[in-house]
Structure 1
Amino acid sequence: MSYQEAELVNQPDLAKSRAELGSAFVRILSYFREDGEKAISAIEQAIRERNAIALVTPAHTLKGESAQFGAHRLSGMAERIEMVARRCVESHEGPDELIEVVVALRPCFTETMSILDRDSNPLVARRPATFGRRADSPSAGFGRMA
């Protein structure tokens, strides 16, 4: 699957990350925001300079950190940048073919962060309201499990 087809945020992966990180989740997410901004700025600067070598490390970092939060599209874009940049370094070519991906990177990051912020808000309900019964059993009476 290409990064264009990947979902912005995979909710099961995000839930797994939230469970694994526990109370550190919000703090780690804030680090991801800072690191992501820095990585994207570095990627944009490298593409302006046509410097494939300078693309590799920030793209690699962004790829891994995005995947940790289930941000599959962003991770896929960063992986594409990293892989093409590595190939360009090896073949002594400029990374011009990445311009379109790099231009789309910041809007994808912004949209992804919006979803992650919304879903990390402790006031957002994550489960359907099921007071006194299982959600999948509409016939269950109050206080009884089906």
Structure 2
Amino acid sequence: MRLSNMADYAVVTMSAAARHCGHARVSAQQLADETGLPAPTVQKLVSKLSAAGLLKSVRGAHGGFKLARPAAAITLADIVEAVEGPIALTPCSDHGRHDCTLESACAIRPHWPAVDAALRGALAGIPLTQLSRPIAVPATVAEVMA
């Protein structure tokens, strides 16, 4: 499984917004500058993230975006679902979809909801606070070997 670019960029954008937690609101342009993402992409993402209740938008001279709830209460699953919709590894996992030619004889289809729930649970176990803090990376090969 691989996240779409937009889901990846949403995680990057939310991580940048989380680093402003407790400070002034941040504009979409500031998020674009901090992340290196194109401003139109960030604008599209903050719109989706706001609609999903992850960001709060405030208009006006001192407006901008801020997290709608504490970073510890926002998970990787929340962010991915805001951009991609419900987590489902296969199209037949989506309720109401009946476009698979194997559907009537498929012995695996009943098992996908458990797989989807396990994946969602794993992603839900990763809070935004974990994603937004820097990880110390050794600067040299010698440090890695030490």
- Provide TM-score, normalisation by structure 2: 0.35
Give 1 or 2: higher helix fraction.
1
Q: Which of the pair has more CA radius of gyration?
A: 1
Give 1 or 2: higher strand fraction.
2
- Provide TM-score, normalisation by structure 1: 0.35
